[in-house]
Chains A and B, each alone.
Chain A
C-alpha cells in the first residue's frame, strides 16, 4: 500500500512538470474535457439505478405505474416500509442471512487459512500437488447436476450445511493468502521455532497476529460473497423458514411470493408491485452499503496483493 501511494504521488508532479514545459495543446484540452464528461457520465449511470430504486421505494404505486418516478420520490409514501418491516418472514429470513454469513465465513476462514499456511511453506513435500489440486478446480468443476446429486445424497438438503459448505474454499482467496504468507519474513518464524514453538505455535502466536490485515480482507471477501449468495439456498432449501433474505427477494422478483409474505396487499399475487420490490431491495442493500467504504479499500489492497504475484 505504501509503495503504491508513493508511486501515485511521484506520478503527479511529473505530469505537473510536463504542463509547465509544454503548452497544453487544443487537442489535449478537448480530450480532457471529454474525459471529464465521460467519467461523470459513468458515475451518474452507475449510481442512477440505485437512486431510482430508492425513489421508487418511497413513491406511491400510482406514480410508478404511470412511469413518472426517476430520481425523486413521487407521492411520498412510507407505508410499504412499515409493511415489510412488520413482516415476520422478512425478519426470519434476514436473521438466516446473518447466521449463514457468520457460520460460512468462519468455516471458510479456518479452511483457507490452514490450507494457505501449509502450502506457503516452500519446503513442504508434495506442496505442488496440493496447489495443483486446488488450482485445477478453478478451471474445471463437476457441474451443476453432480453437485446437486452429491449434496442431496449427503442428506444436506434443507439444512444450513447445504448453504455454508459447498463453496467453503475460494481458490482465488486461497492464492492471495498463500502469497501473503510466502512474503512474510522467514526470520520471524525461524526465531520462534528456535524459541521452542511448534509449527502450530508459530502459526497461532506469531504468524496470525501479524496477518490481521490479510485476515480482515479475507473475512470481508467471504462475508460479502456469503451475504449476497442465493443459488445454493435456492437449490437446496425448500423450507421457507430457512430461506436467506436473497431468496425472499428472488421470490418477489419472480412473482412466486405468497400473498402472506408480501404483506397481503397484492391482490394480484402474480405481479408483486414495483414499490414493494424496491423497498425489499433497499433493505437488503443497506448493510452492504454501510460496510462498503471499508470493504472497497480492503478489496482493492487484496486484489493488489494477488496481482503482484502474477
Chain B
C-alpha cells in the first residue's frame, strides 16, 4: 500500500489528471462548449448552411465583376479580365443617367418619406380619443400589407388617363396629363405613392417610443409654463430622438436601393429619362441582355456605396447624437 502511495507511477497520473481536467474545464474552450451545447450547435447547422449558400456565396459570386462569365459555367466565372467591366460602366452614359436618377429619387424619398411618419405620429399623439386614434392607425397601416404588385396596379390606374388624378386635373385645369408616360411626372408619381404607402406604418416605431415618454416630464414642463407646442418641442421630440436617428441611419442605408421592385413594375421606356435607377438598369443589362459580368460590376458598385453610406451615417450619428446601430 505504502509502495503505491510513494510509487512514482501513481504520482505521475496523479499530476497528469488535474492537468487534463483543467484543460477540459477551462471556461471558453471549444471542446467543453461542444460537449455541453452540441445540441444547440446542431440547431445552428441548417440556418448557418442557409446563410452560407444563399447569402455569402452570392457575395463571393460578385467576383464575376472582374471575370469572364459563361452562362452555364462556374458561378465564379472563367478567367480574370481585371477592371474591364468597371471601366465599361464608368464610360456608359446610361449608367450615369441611372445613377443621377437614383440620387434624385433617394434624396426626394428622404425629404418627403422620412419626416411624414414623424409628423403623423405626433399628430396622432395629440388625439384625445383613443378609439379614434386606433381607427386612424388601423386604416393607415393598410397599404403596408399590400403586395407591391397591387400597389403598382393601383398607381397605374389612379394616374391613368381616365384615373382619379386626371379627373381632378381635368376639373381644375381643364387638361389631363399622361402621368404614367411623361418623364416629367414620374418623380411626383413615385414619391406621392411612396408617401401613401409608408407614412402610416412608418409611424409605428415613433408611436411605440411616444408611449414610453415619462409623463412627469410634461408635468414639469407645464409647471414651468410651457404651452403645448413648447412641450412638443422640448419634451416629446428629444424623447423620441434616438428613434428618429436610428431610423434615419437605416433610411440612409437603403438610399441606393430606392424601390427597385416598384419602379420595375411602374416604369416604361418612355420615362426611362427620370425613372431608370441603378437597380433597374442593372436588371435590364444583366437579365434581359445577359451581360452578367457587366451587371455584377454595377451591382457591386451599388452595394459598396450602400454599405459606405450606412457605415458613415452610423459613425456620424455616434459622434454627433450619441446614438448608433451597433
A interface, CB within 8 angstroms of B: 4, 7-8, 10-12, 14-15, 18, 25, 28, 31-32, 35-36, 38-39, 42-43, 45-50, 52-53, 56, 64-67, 70, 110-112, 114-115, 117-119, 121, 123-126, 130, 133-135, 137, 139-150, 153, 165-166, 168-169, 198-200, 203, 224, 227-231, 235, 246, 249-250, 253-254, 274, 277-278, 281, 284-285, 288, 292-293, 295-296, 299-300, 303-304, 307, 310
Question: Does B94 interact with chain A (Cβ within 8 Å)?
Answer: no
Q: CB-CB < 8 A to A49: which residues of B?
A: 154, 158, 196
Do B41 and A118 touch across chains, with their CB atoms under 8 A apart?
A: yes
Do B147 and A284 touch across chains, with their CB atoms under 8 A apart?
A: yes
Q: A7-B212, A67-B166 are in contact. Are A42 and B296 (CB under 8 A)?
A: no
Report the Cα distance A124→B123, complex, angstroms. 45
Do B147 and A230 touch across chains, with their CB atoms under 8 A apart?
A: yes
Do A7 and B150 touch across chains, with their CB atoms under 8 A apart?
A: no
Contact check: which of B40, B243, B265 meets A124 at CB < 8 Å?
Answer: B40
Do B61 and A142 touch across chains, with their CB atoms under 8 A apart?
A: yes
Closest to A153 in B: B75
Do A4 and B211 touch across chains, with their CB atoms under 8 A apart?
A: yes
Can you report 9 A-B residue pairs in the complex whose CB atoms are below 8 A from each other? Answer: A12-B130, A38-B123, A65-B162, A114-B44, A143-B296, A144-B299, A150-B54, A153-B75, A228-B150
Contact check: which of A7, A28, A53, A135 meets B157 at CB < 8 Å?
Answer: A53
Question: Does B143 interact with chain A (Cβ within 8 Å)?
Answer: yes
Q: CB-CB < 8 A to B138: which residues of A?
A: 293, 296
Do B140 and A274 touch across chains, with their CB atoms under 8 A apart?
A: no
Greatest chain B CB density within 10 A among A15, A121, A145 is at A145
Question: Does B248 interact with chain A (Cβ within 8 Å)?
Answer: no
Choose, from B5-13, B99-107, B182-190, B281-289, the stretch at the interface: B281-289
Q: CB-CB < 8 A to A229: which residues of B?
A: 147
Do B123 and A35 touch across chains, with their CB atoms under 8 A apart?
A: yes
Q: CB-CB < 8 A to B154: which residues of A?
A: 49-50, 52-53, 281
Q: CB-CB < 8 A to A143: which residues of B?
A: 58, 62, 296, 299-300, 302-303
Do B164 and A48 touch across chains, with their CB atoms under 8 A apart?
A: yes
Count A/B pairs, Cβ under 8 Å: 269
Report the Cα distance A48→B143, complex, angstroms. 11
Closest to B141 in A: A296
Contact check: which of A28, A46, A115, A231 meets B47 at CB < 8 Å?
Answer: A115
* Closest A-B pairs by Cβ, 7 of them: A142-B58, A146-B61, A228-B147, A143-B299, A125-B33, A115-B47, A67-B162
Interface membership of chain B positions 50-84, coded 1 if the CB is closer than 8 angstroms to chain A and 0 otherwise: 11011111111110100001001001000000000
Q: A4-B211, A304-B208 are in contact. Are A118 and B43 (CB under 8 A)?
A: yes
Do A145 and B145 touch across chains, with their CB atoms under 8 A apart?
A: no
Contact check: which of A145, A199, A231 meets B299 at CB < 8 Å?
Answer: A145
Q: A39-B124, A249-B150 are in contact. Are A231 and B51 (CB under 8 A)?
A: no
B-side interface size class: 35 or more
Do B246 and A246 touch across chains, with their CB atoms under 8 A apart?
A: no
Do A145 and B212 touch across chains, with their CB atoms under 8 A apart?
A: no
Greatest chain A CB density within 10 A among B135, B149, B152, B310 is at B149
Question: Does B218 interact with chain A (Cβ within 8 Å)?
Answer: yes
Q: CB-CB < 8 A to B318: which residues of A?
A: none
Question: Does B295 interact with chain A (Cβ within 8 Å)?
Answer: yes
Contact check: which of B126, B163, B222, B307 meets A140 at CB < 8 Å?
Answer: B307
Closest to B291 in A: A145
Q: How far in angstroms is the closest Cβ of chain B from A292?
A: 6
Closest to A277 in B: B153
From DSSP, what is the main secondary structure of chain B's interface residues?
Answer: helix
Do A67 and B167 touch across chains, with their CB atoms under 8 A apart?
A: yes
Do A66 and B162 touch across chains, with their CB atoms under 8 A apart?
A: yes
Report the Cα distance A31→B37, complex, angstroms. 60
Question: Does B259 interact with chain A (Cβ within 8 Å)?
Answer: no
Report the Cα distance A198→B218, complex, angstroms. 51
Q: A15-B128, A133-B48, A144-B295 are in contact. Are A45 and B196 (CB under 8 A)?
A: yes
Report the Cα distance A74→B44, complex, angstroms. 58
Q: A52-B164, A115-B47 are in contact. Are A145 and B292 (CB under 8 A)?
A: yes
Closest to B144 in A: A299
Report the Cα distance A299→B208, complex, angstroms. 12
Q: A35-B123, A303-B205 are in contact. Are A142 and B55 (CB under 8 A)?
A: yes
Q: CB-CB < 8 A to A249: which residues of B?
A: 149-150, 153
Question: Does B215 interact with chain A (Cβ within 8 Å)?
Answer: yes
Question: Does B146 interact with chain A (Cβ within 8 Å)?
Answer: yes
Q: A125-B30, A146-B75 are in contact. Are A199 and B158 (CB under 8 A)?
A: no
Q: How far in angstroms is the closest Cβ of chain A from B143?
A: 7
Q: CB-CB < 8 A to B191: which residues of A?
A: none
Closest to B160 in A: A274
Contact check: which of A67, A118, A153 meets B163 at CB < 8 Å?
Answer: A67
Do A133 and B51 touch across chains, with their CB atoms under 8 A apart?
A: yes
Q: CB-CB < 8 A to B30: which residues of A?
A: 125
